[in-house]
């Protein structure tokens, strides 16, 4: 599968070449306190993250290749507990060729699996926990631990007033486990907390040439508000690889990192379309800078650098983490 580079230049290249040009291993300087954090998401042209609850119909072959390639290139892959539950996460990388590729470049054969969970509400039969080769770190404010599993599980307990302190947790993730590059696969609530904490460096957005409209309930039921329908990304099935099959979710599970579709519908209105971020208010928009744009079969693959807000750049505003209200860091609103 070839991709056409729109920015910069206009060359044709493979997914392998496109990913090699990222040089992710150079993104996190040796003296950095936290990992270099990437968000990876998908959306239809009208902002829908899923079609009938799944993101599989949204992606194409190039999207799947880039998804696998990003995952192969980082030290660790992170998702919320609800995403892990909904998507039945299994082994992060199953292809032996990809595991050799990592080893040849000084990476561990398997990326570290990072789970964000306030309550450690993970099913005992989660495939990832049953994988003897898996290395798992759970970021949590809880003092509890999971029962013993085949996978090796460790904990980063970073609490602030009983809630998870994401910034502290990421610093510890780097200091204790050597994580330089971290790929976040959502869900929407976890994404919002990362942005509010000011710890997101880049956004990868796959934009599909498809229009999906509102979900049936939002479109047909009187009195049910339609979802805001801004870009987002969740689950992978059908066309997109499923986490249980070793691929993981794109940016957020069936609904969010800590709830299924039903729970999100209850909070946002039945049938509400999922968004890239949810559960938190940004006092002012965070600005993005387009770094690269690729195209394949009319699907766009956009890479953005996350910038400070205008007031932060001028010195007149508070940082993203200072703008976070107490509700955005409650243990019930990060990943349970």
Is residue 12 included in any domain, yes or no? no
Q: Which two tokens stand for residue 236?
A: 């992978």
**pLDDT tens column, 21-59:** 788 877 776 677 999 999 998 888 998 777 776 667 888
| Half-sphere exposure of residue 35: CA atoms within 13 angstroms, side-chain side | 28
Helix (H) or strand (E) run with residue 156 in it = strand 152-157
pLDDT at 153: 97
Give the residue carrying structure tokens 């993981």.
Answer: 248
Q: Quick count: other Cβ atoms within 10 Å of Cβ 273? A: 23
Is residue 2 included in any domain, yes or no? no
CA distance 187 to 253: 6
pLDDT-derived band at 244, boundaries 50, 70, 90: very low
CA distance 101 to 71: 12
Is residue 266 included in any domain, yes or no? yes
- Cα distances from 68 to residues 61, 113, 248, in angstroms, run 11, 15, 9
User: Exposure pattern of 301-329 as b/e (b: 16+ CB <10 Å)?
Assistant: bbbbebeebeebeeeebeebbebbeeebb
**pLDDT tens column, 273-319:** 777 777 777 888 899 999 999 999 999 999 999 997 555 555 544 44
Range with the poorest average pLDDT among 9-23, 66-80, 119-133, 151-165 = 9-23
Is residue 7 included in any domain, yes or no? no
Helix H segments across the chain?
Answer: 15-20, 61-73, 81-87, 96-104, 166-177, 188-196, 216-220, 261-268, 310-314, 320-323
| Half-sphere exposure of residue 50: CA atoms within 13 angstroms, side-chain side | 27
Is residue 15 included in any domain, yes or no? no
User: Average pLDDT, stretch 228-251?
Assistant: 35
CATH number for the domain spanning 184: value is: 3.40.430.10
pLDDT at 332: 40
pLDDT-derived band at 17, boundaries 50, 70, 90: confident
Is residue 10 included in any domain, yes or no? no
pLDDT-derived band at 268, boundaries 50, 70, 90: very low
Helix (H) or strand (E) run with residue 163 in it = strand 163-164
Is residue 103 included in any domain, yes or no? yes
Q: Which of 132-146, 233-247, 248-262, 305-319 has the highest mean pLDDT?
A: 132-146
Per DSSP, the three-state class of 72 is helix
| Domain housing 111 | 31-329
Cβ-proximal residues to 230 (8 Å cutoff; 6+ apart), any chain? 47, 275, 276
Using the predicted structure, report yes or no on whether residue 120 has a pLDDT greater than 50: yes
Is residue 56 included in any domain, yes or no? yes
How many distinct structural domains can be found in the chain?
1
């Amino acid at each position: 599968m070839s991709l056409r580079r729109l920015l910069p230049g206009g060359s044709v290249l493979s997914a392998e070449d496109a990913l090699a040009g990222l040089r992710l291993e150079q993104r996190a300087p040796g003296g950095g306190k936290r990992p270099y954090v990437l968000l990876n998401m998908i959306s239809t042209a009208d902002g829908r993250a899923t079609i009938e609850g799944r993101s599989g119909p949204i992606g194409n072959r190039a999207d799947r290749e880039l998804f696998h390639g990003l995952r192969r290139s980082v030290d660790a892959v992170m998702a919320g507990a609800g995403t892990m539950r909904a998507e039945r996460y299994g082994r992060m990388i199953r292809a032996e060729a990809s595991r050799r590729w990592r080893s040849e470049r000084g990476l561990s054969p398997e990326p570290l699996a990072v789970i964000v969970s306030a309550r450690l509400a993970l099913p005992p039969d989660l495939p990832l926990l049953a994988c003897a080769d898996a290395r798992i770190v759970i970021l949590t404010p809880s003092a509890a631990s999971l029962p013993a599993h085949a996978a090796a599980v460790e904990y980063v307990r970073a609490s602030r007033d009983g809630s998870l302190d994401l910034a502290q947790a990421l610093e510890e993730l780097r200091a204790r486990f050597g994580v330089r590059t971290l790929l976040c696969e959502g869900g929407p609530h976890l994404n919002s907390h990362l942005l509010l904490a000011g710890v997101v460096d880049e956004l990868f957005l796959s934009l599909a040439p498809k229009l999906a409209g509102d979900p049936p309930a939002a479109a047909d039921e009187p009195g049910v508000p339609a979802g805001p329908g801004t870009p987002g990304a969740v689950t992978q099935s059908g066309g997109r690889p499923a986490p249980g099959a070793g691929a993981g979710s794109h940016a957020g599970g069936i609904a969010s990192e800590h709830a299924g579709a039903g729970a999100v519908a209850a909070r946002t209105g039945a049938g509400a379309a999922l968004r890239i971020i949810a559960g938190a208010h940004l006092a002012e928009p965070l600005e993005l800078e387009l770094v690269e744009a690729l195209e394949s079969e009319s699907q766009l693959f956009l890479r953005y650098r996350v910038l400070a807000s205008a007031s932060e750049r001028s010195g007149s505003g508070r940082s993203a983490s200072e703008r976070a209200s107490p509700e955005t860091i409650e243990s019930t609103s990060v990943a349970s």
